[in-house]
A and B are shown apart, each in its own frame.
Chain A
Amino acid sequence: MKKTACILLSLSVLSVCFLLTACSKDNADNNPTTGMTRISEGYAAGAATKVEIYSKQSLVNTGYNKFYIALYDSVSGNRVEEAHIHLTPVMDMGMMQHNAPFENPVSETASGHLFPCSVTFVMPSGSGNWTLEIEVHNHVTGKEGTLVLPITVTDPVIPRQQSFTASHNGAKYFISLIEPSSPRVGINDLELAIYKKESMDNWPADSSLTITMIPEMPSMGHSSPNNVNPVHTGNGHYRGKVNFTMTGLWRLNLDFMSGTSVADTTQSFDVQF
């Protein structure tokens, strides 16, 4: 009698365990935002759509931030996978306002239930407040609406964005380091995004520069072999390869040229792992 109870109990425990693991596994498979942080959320009034912003980083940092927007029908709670989204980042500094570079979702159809996009916050919150205006045209319901979310932007411990005033044309350029995001010993992808500040509300992607990148270990003074200089691949993104021969603190020294004239030779990014 006691034995049977025991067996029954353990069987039920086992099956519950099994179900639990099965469920959580299912969830993991279905949930595209596993491992991401929800940065903010709100309702786009008029579009009857709930908007959630996710990031692979836990904080919004100065520089390039890749966001993933999830949309839900605010009545049914179902995912909205057909929509047109337009972003407008705004920095309100009291005396003045300015915008920032951004990339709207490329497609009006969600990819993996999400709409990838990006905002490059050119400065941290503090001397002003960042908001992100999101216009949503819900293609399922045909309704349109706008939502404004406050965003807190912090400077990371190691900067991921630099800016310089180019010596060849006097324009101001903002450089963000996108990759390597998780550096390791070996060959790493190198990706930079470059935006030019035309005016307070116009921050176009730049494709005009050529970049020379030399990695260096400042404490030892050595470099690494077989790096590939980043070249423009579209929308202001420059891609190359950077090789790290050991862990530690590396400095990626960057020289920017515009044709044959020097734009800037003073910038660098530190990468530490």
Chain B
Amino acid sequence: MADTFTIHLKIWRQDGPDKPGKLVDYTLDNVNEHMSFLEMLDVLNEQIVAEGREEPVEFDYDCREGICGSCNLMINGRAHGPKAMTCTCQLHMRNYSDGDTIVIEPFRAKGFPVIKDLIVDRSAFDRIIEAGGYVSVKTGSAPDANSIPVDKSVADTAFDYATCIGCGACVAACPNSSASLFTGAKLAHLNRLPQGEPERKRRTVAMVEQMDKEGFGDCSNYAECEAVCPKGISISAIAEMRRNYVKAALAGDEV
């Protein structure tokens, strides 16, 4: 059995949306290298519950295998922690050693208000998709799936962008709190497919506008989003979003 070791934690605790918050210190003595980061927090919570002095730490998760996009922690100042292409739930304690101190904060942005402790409200992302992140096809009205061939490289690139899990790390890590990578990824997925082409301009303009409305910052091309994105989505998506946006604006389409 692997040895256990000690970890010091500084965790953001905040009772509710409008309550003040602060970092609180905890120490865990029985951390095992095979634990996932979230399992380490589970163990902490069990300890807190057993002691009964305060409420357990709230944090979001569901699949715990890096696909649902629920987990979202700022770990020592980095969204999803130190490893590239990795979600918080896929991070393992073997990346830490005895005596380390880890600061854990929620994803912070005006567009992601804190609900409690480390849990934030990411519904702004839903509203961005709602604005146009779809192909308007009614159930039952689709032609045969093979009636429109799609160049394999186009389909593959569309897939790359479609892998976004909507975690919000891009916003959290961006010095400007921009949601451009998330928005750009959905646009880059749908806009390049023949199925998405007819609505390309309308979709781009609508989603960009919604992103603005939600209070996310501008994109200054820092590319920090790409560095923290657990799916490694490229900021080329953002450039492409701009291209389509300008085309739509130049065409004088209703925006």
Chain A bound to chain B: no
Residues of A participating in the B interface, judged by any CB pair closer than 8 Å: none
Residues of chain B whose beta carbon lies under 8 Å from any beta carbon of chain A: none
